[in-house]
Chains A and B, each alone.
Chain A
Amino acid sequence: MTSYMSNNLHLWLIPLLPFAGFLINGLLGRRLPKALVTTVALLAPLAAFAVVLNAGWALWSGQLQVPYVETCPVGWINAGALHIGFSFVLDQLSLVMLLVVTGVGFLIHIYSVGYMGDEEGYARYFSYLNLFLFFMTVLVLAGNALLMFVGWEGVGLASYLLIGFYFQKNSAANAGKKAFIVNRVGDFGFLIGMFLLLANFGTLTFSEIATKLGQDPGWQGGVVTVIALCLLLGATGKSAQLPLYIWLPDAMEGPTPVSALIHAATMVTAGIYMIARNHVLFDHSPFALGTVAVIGTATALFAATIALVQTDIKRVLAYSTISQLGYMFLGCGVAAYSAAIFHLMTHAFFKALLFLAAGAVIHAIGGEQDLRKMGGLWKKLPVTFAVTTVGVLAIAGFPPFAGFFSKDAILYAAFALGGSGRIFWFVGLVTALLTSFYMFRLWYLTFLGKPRSEAAHHHHSTPWSMAVPLVILALLSICGGWIGIGPFSAFLTPSIGPRTAEAGSAQLEHILTGAAVLVAFLGWFIADRLYRQKPESPAQLAAALPSTYNLVANKYYVDEFYGAAVVKPLLAGSKYLLGWVVDTAILGGAAWLLAGIANLAGAILQRWQSGNLRSYAAWLAAGAAAVLLFVVVSWPTVLASLSAIHFGVAGH
């Protein structure tokens, strides 16, 4: 094979093809026939996926110097010593991410054709989806933090547009705003982190930062910790971690395929990707790394407990996503970046699958999302039932499904760290138990038992465009983990360093794996007891512990707390201090005062302009007389100056 002689992979096509799709469907979509809209919308990600595959093959076959950098000849920012260009980097890390983004993205595009078929704004929907892919691939390919930030903000925009897709619905519009504003808080951290990088390293290029950090072992803690924590704040915003996770559950207002693509499989993993991309910074700051682990672990447990009692099928999955992202953070926090990316990949498969399956259920029973009104759907939706089962088994961590391998890798890495890692491992294990429980709860409530509402009785069929992606994702959810963490992390080593924490023995690994499988079965068992054998017992349990149940069912009142602690003071400050005092009183008063002065002066001066020639002449004469008077009164000084000029010269 000598076809890679030129070694030009045309990475720029990966973002720009979806962008072209966005432009075509966004500008002309309303006038184009629906078939053409569909073709454009599907071709764009497919072509991008093909370019990624081509690049992946070049990388895999070893014909490529990694990292492969593609730089636009025209720079972006050239100011003094600062040069920032449009550079795209392909290495193992970005390749994995690109495969997930474009691959899963393409499948979800196909699914959307069936799911959104009868919706208003079909072209608008696909133009947004393509726009998302454009920004997401920019984010992944970016060779410097600023370009990554462009993608970062862009996916936030696409997310906002898609959450608020049904913008006539007030709750959807509000959810979009909430996601956007909460993300701003995180972006603030990202920005500050970038400024600090510029101030201390003079560059934003990832590879140059890594080189500079590597050259000087003195970079430890201090400013590196601050930078890493700032970046972490950005990551908690985008990846919905404590304390900024609150936007993700509300983001479920968007169409279900959007929840699958953006709010489960790809965009929300951008924070983990960013941490892995900047792993050198985190490696130089044990404190920041520890913070990542604590946030991840806390979020995983916290969100899992909320997911236990949610009744909206999509919200269960949303909290599950937050919890699984917490696992990935935990993986990053114990410096097992490859395990985190591994879980990112498998999670993209099975969580996209679960969301799409939930979408198929919702679609089939006419828009009902309440678990309490489902039940007994396995007979009517056999394909959906089968793939959901696969997804549930995968997320609960049953071997040999994908989630088992990746979750196990993270838990093992945490345990092998020793010390606080044992605590992380234990909490992770408890979370795994909860995960297994709430997923089987969802499974039982949706598909088994008796139909609990009219909607659950009659249903629409699932079109092939929705079924095919489900089946492919189900296969990926089964096989996605078979590569194993060992080869996977070996593949990623050039990008994010070798797999650490190899202290444990094979025996320990087996024991930990056994424990993980055990809790998965335990979770299933409890769910089986509660929701199959004694369907009345959950209500009894809730009645027995009313305060606990209310606390969890109300999501620990975090939204209420933020509302009272942040939103209300902010609104009050805006209204009273900024609105009334600053805007109305100071700014408005100043403007009013100036206008009043001008008006008054105008009213007085206006009288001079009578149009009467003789009055003008009188003023002129009076003026001349005044000048004359002035000259006469101060005559000596005028004479002196005049003589200096005139007589001094002409006198001779």
Chain B
Amino acid sequence: MPNRKIFDSEDTQAIVNLLGEVCAPPDDHANKKRRLLDGICRLVEADAWVWGLFVELKPGDFPSYVLHLHGGFDEEQLPNFLRALEHPASAKFTAPMAQLLQEKRCHVTRFRQQFGFEKEFLGSESHLLWQAAGIEPGILSCRPVDATTLSTVGIYRRPNKPAFTPRESRIAHILLSEVPWLHEQGWSADRDSTIPSLSRRCCTVMNFLVHGRTRQEIASQLGISQHTVDGYVKEVFRHFRVHSQPELIARFQNGDGGDVS
């Protein structure tokens, strides 16, 4: 029996309470997800979370992703977070998770300290970018949803807070792995599984666009000219066959083209 770990009554009550609250009011899919992820953060004393769909990671590759929902970030921190993800130095630290997923092919949850690259990470450029985003990598939970797509939840604490414990990681894992709709874009199977195979910069620009940033903001966040941003935006629009930012956002909010019933 591998699963004989015992949850104490305080934890079990808190988990049942949280799920009861999530059940309670009538709400749409995204809000329920938000409520549950906010709640998980409360349970494990985390400060921020993100949920996104990733093209299956290959160790060392830049992750291609769509960040769908997030909580606990302010206006400044989210762009910095996207930049931290984009940075080449970060790929090294997602590689062990990618490797693990390739071996296990199932829902995997780990906290950073389990990977044993702590010293290297703290001295890296990547760490500085994370700090600029106001968070440190904490718990990462990945679930393969089809042959090429990973649903990924990241749970973070502010810098200088203690590391997550195995208990906290376990609580997050159980909630994230036993609630399948957390990993879908809608209640039905209307998830859009096509994550673009875009270049690194285009992917970052796309995620800025999906989160409602203007071209001007993107340019200043990435430290590039607005003209260059225009080029990326054009490429992103062409890729998704859309003609405007709202159209692009709608596409991601509504899964495969608007069937939200």
Do A and B associate with each other? no
Chain B residues proximal to chain A, CB less than 8 Å: none
Chain A residues proximal to chain B, CB less than 8 Å: none
